Amino acid sequence: MLSILSNHVTRQELFETMDLTNQSKNRAKYLDPLIELGWVAQDYPGKKTNPNQRYKITKAGEKILALLKS
């Protein structure tokens, strides 16, 4: 998931790439924990349902991704 977020993407684009449905249960299971850890940033923090909401990996997320790839 972190590698997909190298570019700003919508939740729908993210979940389509992962072959998941764009449902709140998938957001709660996969995306929300990464936001809470600070590995993923939102364009509109605190507004999960904003129609213009996009997500992107943070610097901390990039460090974790680099560790996972090595």
Q: Tell me the three state secondary structure of residue 20.
A: coil
Instruction: Quote the domain boundaries for residue 22.
Output: 4-69
For residue 69, give Cα distances in angstroms to 2, 34, 44, 50. Answer: 11, 17, 29, 32
The predicted model gives 20-48 an average pLDDT of 93
Q: What is the pLDDT of residue 1?
A: 87
The predicted model gives 15-23 an average pLDDT of 93
Q: How many domains does the chain have?
A: 1
Task: Check pLDDT > 90 for residue 63.
Answer: yes
Q: Is the dihedral of CA 54, 43, 2, 21 positive or negative?
A: negative
| pTM of the predicted structure, to 2 decimals | 0.86
Best CA proximity match to 24, nearest among 13, 36, 35, 12: 12
Residue 24: CATH number of its domain: 1.10.10.10
The predicted model gives 21-39 an average pLDDT of 93
pLDDT band, residue 34 (cuts 50/70/90) = very high
Which DSSP string corresponds to 29-59?
Answer: IIIHHHHHHTSEEESSTT-TT-TT--EEE-H
